[in-house]
Amino acid sequence: MAQPSYIPSVAPVFDWIDAHREEAVADLQRFCRQPSVAAQDWGMHDMAALVTDALTGLGATTQVTPTPGYAVVVGRFAGMTERRLAFYNHYDVQPPEPLDAWTSPPFAAEIRDGWLYARGVADNKGNLVARLWALRAWQATHHLLPCQVTFLIEGEEEIGSPHLGKFAAAHQDLVQADACLWEAGYRNAQGSLECYAGVKGILYVELQAKGAAHDLHSSYAPLAPNAAWRLVAALQSLRDSTGRVRIPHFYDAVRPPTPEEQALIARSPINISALLQQWQITHSVGGDGSPAQLTERLLYEPTCTICGIWGGYTGAGSKTVLPATVSAKIDFRLVPDQDPETILTNLQVYLQEQGFPDITVHTVADAAYPAQSLIDTPLMAALVRSARQVYQNEPLVLPRIAGTGPMYSLCQRFGIPAIGGAGVGYIGSRTHAPDEHIRLDDFFLGMKHIAALLAEFAQFP
Amino acid sequence: MAQPSYIPSVAPVFDWIDAHREEAVADLQRFCRQPSVAAQDWGMHDMAALVTDALTGLGATTQVTPTPGYAVVVGRFAGMTERRLAFYNHYDVQPPEPLDAWTSPPFAAEIRDGWLYARGVADNKGNLVARLWALRAWQATHHLLPCQVTFLIEGEEEIGSPHLGKFAAAHQDLVQADACLWEAGYRNAQGSLECYAGVKGILYVELQAKGAAHDLHSSYAPLAPNAAWRLVAALQSLRDSTGRVRIPHFYDAVRPPTPEEQALIARSPINISALLQQWQITHSVGGDGSPAQLTERLLYEPTCTICGIWGGYTGAGSKTVLPATVSAKIDFRLVPDQDPETILTNLQVYLQEQGFPDITVHTVADAAYPAQSLIDTPLMAALVRSARQVYQNEPLVLPRIAGTGPMYSLCQRFGIPAIGGAGVGYIGSRTHAPDEHIRLDDFFLGMKHIAALLAEFAQFP
């Protein structure tokens, strides 16, 4: 079938969106009020049902595929053309802790001064709901979508997508598309979207030190082991004083940016000073640099992060105890072509060699490979043109983001170009942190952006 | 008034104790079932009332003195002689956490196979109740006690006795005695009591590192600060690889053992290998050594201990976060003549100099000075003779213990010899740890020991 030369105007779609803001926000609150914390097995089944119901309600052919963890929900929509665009999204969210740092409860979806606060509203429910409502607006206005659309919505992104790869391999017919739009997007301090065609990988482990068989009175400290000192020493051995990871061969497979990638970075560096302002710090770790240098560091430097540490007495006041067990959660953010499995092995060998054979290492979430898609693709062109139209400014195009996702297992290995950057978050959204929020104006613009993107993608293959 | 040459026989007192075991155990359970966690402000008022009531019920002249924290309870008993013996005890206990590591709830006072399990039963309620029942047995048998007795019972020992020093200075008439029997005692693996005339001091602080203004998504790790890495580095700087504290002048005031003290240690070294067995480890930290060497290390080496550490995500599964705040509780066990205030100042200066001016230090509990009483005193002689009589073995006499207490502020500065070692615990009592317990047989022997000690102390000034 030839591509039709005419795709109806997006203007009435925008009008419909403007006329239905309140219903869309109420729907977003409904999504946000349903907890869905995969790490804590909290509300996941109900959330999957809510997503499935929303897709079916819009007329999608919906398939819910169970996994050993949480189901993958797929919804397929017909279109005016044979072009097929996939949307990758997830219905799980990060754990809401620490709860007492939230101004309103994380699943209350409270609106204050035009901002909606909820765990997951920026990552990723706001994007999911905006995409659903963009489709609804097209349907209400022109009946058919400009192109075919497949929603691929998993429930395990925040725990490392352990079953998505196997699902994709077993259901290539469902996954197949001309291109895939990734889950999230954030406006920077200048209001521009930041677009990308790659993600970092991740390895997430828990390290544990053991002392005596049980906690001891700390007066025994001259003779008895202390798991806290032991873990502190092991952790300190993982990085040098500049933060460089000391595990052998850690950097061997790191692919430096190509000249083309460096040109993109030089043209559209991330506004790092705005980030520092958000974080209320004056200097970045690892030293200062030009915006392009700092952007390159953010996107191309693999890291080792202590995400959490705990052990011994952590209550009020004082307790004099030698902790028997102390643990830390560690993530390694990896860049192409680092292999998480090789790094896990090297970590274990390294701890042995450094004199820490007693420190246990186990993986908490499944690892993700880093991915780098082609950058110069029709979807990226459509993303940029539609962003100019809706946001009235120039989006940034960068080779990749510093975040992680299953881009390799869902797209790259099947040759599907994956592009991200369309979304309803902004630089201050506090993703993964207390008081996560979006600005509702970004939510409405995000809907329009997706509506315009469908038309652009359908018209310019 | 001259000392009477005749003190009645302790044999009927022992018989009375044997005949009243069940009531005494029920009373001990009553004490243990009343939570009294000073660090958590839990049950303290009710516990003080229970103690006061018990003293009054035995006919003591009782005085309850409020402090800015918890009241000091003093009970004074008349005696057949003018000799006055003070008992120092405390009615507060350590926090019971981690709760899930207890076989029975910490305030259930469950008895299993002749052992009583409860937070505080070894430290210090078992000793307190055994002393009360020893007095009751004397009264029931001979009406008057052999000597005058003053109970000095505070409620803040486990949080560093912040108000006991001021109380003692303001009430020297109440505190004054010919000698003071310290709070606790533990039988070693051979069944011998370990007697001492000194305690270590303590400085307890909380260190806190701060990163960004709030927790951040860990993908920002190449540029954003991580409070966990920061605290780990600061902690690691506090000690060298052998555990030696690196704070300048830390060891300057450490008084090595005298030849007399070394002789005591050589004659009665602590059974360290039994301790290691209890702890289920094969080697002590800091290297192996002879029993005397290890005993000297335990008693004369000041230490720096991480009692607890926490920050970032510590829940189930994975969460990728850069922690904004990470904290550690640290105790320094000090030996004569280390001064906790000097060491606190030196710690702060050291962290500054090591490049950690951002790490905050604040004291959690009030510091205690280390103390060393005279060893060769009438009370020590009475303690040893009565122990031989009751336990049918030779008690160990050591210059001091590795534990801490307000011996300096309550006794040493007023010239009152203080001696410890009489008590109902044993090497396996799990003081400060889950499943703290005593053997009930030790409870009954402990009562008899105090009964015999009163007679010995009255007869041989």
A5/chain B closest Cα distance in angstroms: 43
Structure tokens at B456: 């010995």
pLDDT over 90 at B268, yes or no:
no
Domain that holds residue B78: 11-199+370-459
Whether residues B310 and B454 share a domain: the answer is no
Is residue B167 in some structural domain?
A: yes
Distance of CA A438 to the CA centre of its chain: 15
A212 interaction partners in chain B (CB closer than 8 Å): 279-281
Whether residues B363 and B376 share a domain: the answer is no
Comparing CB atoms, the residue among A204, A298, A434 nearest residue B318 is A204
Is residue A292 in some structural domain?
A: no
pLDDT of residue A271: 86
A304 interaction partners in chain B (CB closer than 8 Å): 221
Hey, is the C-beta of A93 within 8 angstroms of any chain B C-beta?
no
A403/chain B closest Cα distance in angstroms: 5
Is residue B226 in some structural domain?
A: yes
pTM exceeds 0.90, yes or no: no
Nearest to A224 by CA among B184, B281, B81: B281
Structure tokens at A211: 């002392």
pLDDT over 50 at A338, yes or no:
yes
- CATH number at B222 reads 3.30.70.360
pLDDT of residue A118: 98
pLDDT of residue B356: 97
Whether residues A232 and A344 share a domain: the answer is yes
pLDDT of residue A106: 98
pLDDT over 70 at B1, yes or no:
no
Whether residues B159 and B25 share a domain: the answer is yes
Whether residues A214 and A191 share a domain: the answer is no
Whether residues B126 and B239 share a domain: the answer is no
User: A interface mutation test: which of B199, B203, B282, B306 has the most A CBs within 10 A?
Assistant: B306
Is residue B275 in some structural domain?
A: no
pLDDT of residue A318: 85
Hey, is the C-beta of A210 within 8 angstroms of any chain B C-beta?
no
Last residue of one domain, picked from the residues A338, A363, A388: A363
Is residue B279 in some structural domain?
A: no
Hey, is the C-beta of A243 within 8 angstroms of any chain B C-beta?
yes
Could you count the other beta carbons within 10 Å of the beta carbon of residue B393? 13
Is residue A398 in some structural domain?
A: yes
CB contact under 8 A, B214 and A301: no
pLDDT of residue A2: 43
pLDDT of residue B318: 85
Q: Which residue of A has its CA nearest to B366?
A: A318
CB contact under 8 A, B312 and A321: no
pLDDT, average across residues A264-270: 92
pLDDT in tens, B143-157: 999 999 999 999 999
pLDDT in tens, A110-159: 999 999 999 999 999 999 999 999 999 999 999 999 999 999 999 999 88
At A99, the pLDDT band (50, 70, 90 cuts) reads: very high
pLDDT of residue A253: 97
pLDDT in tens, A185-194: 999 888 999 9
Last residue of one domain, picked from the residues B367, B390, B412: B367
Whether residues A192 and A207 share a domain: the answer is no
Last residue of one domain, picked from the residues B348, B367, B386: B367
- CATH number at B148 reads 3.40.630.10
Whether residues A219 and A356 share a domain: the answer is yes
Is residue B157 in some structural domain?
A: yes
CB contact under 8 A, A322 and B328: no
pLDDT over 50 at A160, yes or no:
yes
Distance of CA A368 to the CA centre of its chain: 12
Whether residues B329 and B431 share a domain: the answer is no
A15/chain B closest Cα distance in angstroms: 36
Comparing CB atoms, the residue among B280, B281, B310 nearest residue A310 is B310
pLDDT in tens, B71-103: 999 999 999 999 999 999 999 999 999 999 999
pLDDT of residue B2: 43
pLDDT, average across residues B211-232: 95
CB contact under 8 A, B284 and A313: no
At A222, the pLDDT band (50, 70, 90 cuts) reads: very high
B212/chain A closest Cα distance in angstroms: 5
Whether residues B66 and B172 share a domain: the answer is yes
Hey, is the C-beta of B242 within 8 angstroms of any chain A C-beta?
no
User: A interface mutation test: which of B196, B203, B217 has the most A CBs within 10 A?
Assistant: B217
pLDDT in tens, A379-389: 999 999 999 99
pLDDT of residue B82: 93
Whether residues B171 and B101 share a domain: the answer is yes
Hey, is the C-beta of A97 within 8 angstroms of any chain B C-beta?
yes
pLDDT, average across residues A438-450: 98
- What does the mean pLDDT of chain A come to? 95
pLDDT of residue B159: 86
Whether residues A140 and A60 share a domain: the answer is yes
According to the 3-state scheme, what is the secondary structure of A93-160?
ECCCCCHHHCCCCCCCCEEECCEEECCCHHHHHHHHHHHHHHHHHHHHHHCCECCEEEEEEECCHHHC
Is residue B380 in some structural domain?
A: yes
CB contact under 8 A, B286 and A220: no
How many domains does one find in chain B?
A: 2
Give percent of chain B above pLDDT 90: 89
